[in-house]
């Protein structure tokens, strides 16, 4: 089920224009002196092109987990390889003459895509995990230097990513901050449930005269995955006087709409290697100019310290920066899909919902959220009879699916709530859809689970490792 393609281009190709301004009377030689200013845009990808671009993926695996590590097409990998060779060939020349201009070029492209005002607001870093450390380290200094009072709060979602939670512990709790987790219902039925819990958590944050210094809000939670109404939550933060809002959009660009001015956060981080076809790894951290950002530093300090986060991040010692530099090539790749990144997003969402609904129908279960609350990933309930009763079970079942059935999909364990009857769904698979996926990938998963159910498999029967 590759993306359906239209053969008409939406781009206009202007008539060739004479560069030298001379008349048309010279005949052949004149024509040869009038190069076309605009080449035809490259054609849209065919399904066969797409297979070719991802031919390095293991064909024996139903790879329905784009969410974890993303993907990168061959033509981008080739471009990356060229950059690596340029460095190896003459690194000093690359360092002095190529590296910074190319990073600025990538930052500029990102700035335009995310509707940021100024390229200074866009820093390129390795991943959202690094971005979190950058944002949180300045909170640490705030406590250490007495800008904040001991007990001032930070708010984060209960389903915040594990690394971000640890980062909050390392930089906020340790420094004397009080951390509030916003409980979120799962399965979730509407955005209102999330908004309600968030408001309550903010009120708790402000008890006893505490100031809420930072709110960390996922744009799309990881496990279980749900799209969070960030714009609304940011607005609530402003109303309630939260100092700074950091949106963790590890699943951001290419997955949901990322418009910095729309969303209005102080900080916004998104990986480009998950849903934006970049090689591992590259991400951006947006820092709104109006926010007091002078205290933002990359934790790995180089000679660029003090020149602004974007400049600091563009040199953190000798390393391979090639993944930061392929963004122009990635844009070329994306624009060979109907509708560009918007088209890809839309179709990924439609197909993952379609596949999710196919699976829950086959298994008699349910999705973890309504279709409008998921992006290009969705949580699909697994049959209760599989007996997933712990995080360990979930991981073991995942390994089992990989090793025995060639299906790669992360499994989430959701403890039953008080009062829930037996036979309740406690395990959900997070399926992803990306341009390289086919309906057969999801049939393979459906059939694997059906086979397990038919064989009366339970997680209790897995060996204890």
Footprint on this chain of a copy of itself (rule: CB under 8 A)? 56-58, 61, 63, 65, 68-72, 77, 85, 87-93, 95-96, 126-130, 132-133, 137, 141, 144, 162-163, 166-167, 169-171, 174-175, 271, 273-274, 279-281, 297, 299-303, 305-306, 316-320, 323, 399, 402, 408
Nearer to a copy of itself, 102 or 234 (CB): 102
Q: Which residues pair with 381 in a beta bridge?
A: 428
Counting Cα atoms < 13 Å in the Cβ hemisphere of 273 gives 19
At closest approach, how far in Å is the CB of 32 from a copy of itself?
Answer: 34
At closest approach, how far in Å is the CB of 50 from a copy of itself?
Answer: 16
At closest approach, how far in Å is the CB of 65 from a copy of itself?
Answer: 6
Nearer to a copy of itself, 68 or 335 (CB): 68
Helix axes 439-454, 340-363, angle to 10 degrees: 20
Within 8 A by CB and 6+ apart from 196, the residues are none
Nearer to a copy of itself, 115 or 302 (CB): 302
At closest approach, how far in Å is the CB of 189 from a copy of itself?
Answer: 29
Counting Cα atoms < 13 Å in the Cβ hemisphere of 160 gives 26
Nearer to a copy of itself, 107 or 273 (CB): 273
At closest approach, how far in Å is the CB of 317 from a copy of itself?
Answer: 3
Residue 98 burial (CB < 10 Å; 0-12/13-18/19+)? middle
Nearer to a copy of itself, 203 or 319 (CB): 319
d(CA 272, CA 338): 20
Nearer to a copy of itself, 280 or 387 (CB): 280
Nearer to a copy of itself, 63 or 414 (CB): 63
Count CB-CB contacts under 10 A for residue 206: 16
Q: Answer for the pair 284, 269: CB distance below 8 angstroms, yes or no.
A: yes
From 195, 170, 169, select the one nearest 184 (Cα to Cα): 195
Count CB-CB contacts under 10 A for residue 290: 9
d(CA 413, CA 65): 17
Nearer to a copy of itself, 84 or 105 (CB): 84
Nearer to a copy of itself, 202 or 398 (CB): 398
At closest approach, how far in Å is the CB of 137 from a copy of itself?
Answer: 7
| Residue 267, phi then psi, degrees to nearest 5 | -130, 140
At closest approach, how far in Å is the CB of 57 from a copy of itself?
Answer: 6
Residue 21 burial (CB < 10 Å; 0-12/13-18/19+)? exposed
At closest approach, how far in Å is the CB of 269 from a copy of itself?
Answer: 11
At closest approach, how far in Å is the CB of 13 from a copy of itself?
Answer: 35
Nearer to a copy of itself, 248 or 338 (CB): 248
At closest approach, how far in Å is the CB of 88 from a copy of itself?
Answer: 5
From 330, 352, 350, select the one nearest 341 (Cα to Cα): 330
End-to-end alpha carbon distance in the chain: 38
d(CA 305, CA 421): 58
């Amino acid at each position: 089920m590759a993306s359906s393609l239209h053969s008409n281009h939406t781009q206009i190709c202007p008539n060739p224009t004479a560069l030298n301004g001379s008349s048309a009377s010279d005949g052949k030689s004149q024509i040869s002196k009038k190069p076309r200013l605009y080449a035809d845009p490259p054609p849209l990808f065919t399904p066969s092109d797409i297979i070719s671009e991802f031919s390095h993926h293991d064909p024996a695996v139903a790879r329905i987990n784009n969410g974890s590590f993303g993907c990168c097409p061959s033509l981008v990998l080739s471009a990356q390889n060229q950059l690596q060779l340029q460095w190896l060939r003459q690194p000093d020349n690359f360092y002095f003459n190529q590296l910074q201009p190319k990073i600025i070029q990538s930052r500029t492209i990102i700035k335009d895509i995310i509707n940021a005002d100024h390229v200074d607001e866009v820093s390129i870093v390795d991943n959202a995990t690094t971005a979190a450390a950058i944002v949180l380290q300045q909170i640490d200094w705030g406590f250490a230097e007495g800008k904040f009072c001991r007990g001032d709060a930070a708010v984060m979602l209960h389903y915040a990513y594990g690394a971000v939670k640890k980062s909050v512990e390392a930089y906020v709790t340790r420094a004397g901050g009080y951390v509030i987790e916003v409980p979120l219902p799962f399965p979730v039925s509407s955005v209102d449930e999330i908004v309600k819990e968030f408001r309550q958590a903010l009120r708790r944050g402000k008890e006893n005269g505490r100031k809420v210094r930072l709110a960390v809000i996922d744009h799309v939670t990881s496990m279980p995955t749900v799209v969070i109404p960030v714009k609304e939550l940011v607005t609530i933060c402003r109303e309630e006087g939260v100092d700074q809002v950091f949106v963790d959009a590890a699943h951001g660009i290419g997955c949901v709409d990322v418009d910095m001015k729309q969303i209005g956060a102080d900080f916004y981080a998104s990986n480009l290697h998950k849903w934006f076809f970049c090689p591992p790894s590259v991400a951006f951290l947006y820092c709104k100019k109006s926010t007091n950002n002078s205290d933002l530093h990359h934790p790995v300090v180089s000679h660029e310290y003090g020149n602004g986060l974007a400049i600091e991040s563009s040199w953190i010692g000798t390393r391979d920066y090639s993944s930061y530099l392929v963004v122009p090539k990635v844009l070329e790749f994306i624009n060979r899909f109907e509708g560009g990144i918007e088209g890809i997003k839309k179709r990924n969402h439609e197909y993952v919902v379609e596949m999710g609904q196919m699976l829950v129908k086959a298994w008699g279960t349910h999705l973890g959220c309504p279709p409008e609350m998921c992006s290009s990933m969705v949580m699909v309930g697994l049959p209760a009879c599989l007996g997933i009763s712990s995080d360990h079970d979930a991981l073991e079942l995942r390994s089992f699916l990989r090793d025995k059935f060639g299906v790669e999909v992360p499994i989430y364990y959701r403890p039953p709530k008080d009062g829930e009857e037996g036979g309740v769904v406690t395990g959900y698979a997070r399926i992803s859809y990306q341009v390289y996926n086919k309906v057969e990938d999801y049939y393979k998963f459906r059939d694997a689970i059906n086979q397990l159910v038919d064989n009366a498999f339970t997680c209790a029967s897995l060996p204890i490792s």
